[in-house]
A = this chain, B = another copy of it.
């Protein structure tokens, strides 16, 4: 993996004003022999806005992917996720949109996302999506986010 000519890594980079403005940068990646590697990012610090009320929503986001020829650069991923801070979207759409943007940028062999949203009206919503069945022969443990408990 060679860092290449990235615009965000190792510099003071401000988050984009919206997901549309954010750039997901990538670095070249060379797969060796054997099945693909799986890379997991866990973002416990995600927030966006409710498109109806404008109130903040929060989520815990886990992304698993099998890179092909490009890795997502992790700092640009963070800035991309930060760009949802003032973006309004329903939980279902927002979660899948994140996934599709990483797919678009890295053209991976496969990608999975789990969005674990904080409760609204006492009922949390989780959204799970993947591009298809996981590639053959990979190791892919469960995301393992604990279920919502309520109290007691």
Q: Which residues of A contact B (CB under 8 A)?
A: 1, 3, 9-10, 12, 14-15, 29, 32, 34-35, 37-45, 47, 51-56, 58-60, 62, 67, 71, 74-75, 77-78, 82, 85, 90, 92-93, 95-96, 100, 112, 114, 116-133, 136-152
Contact = CB atoms under 8 A, between A and B. Distances in A.
A53 B11 CA distance: 11
A75 B56 CA distance: 14
Contacts of A53: 10, 12
A127 B43 contact: no
Given A82-B55, A125-B39, A137-B133, A149 B12 contact: no
A19 B19 CA distance: 26
Contacts of A32: 96, 100
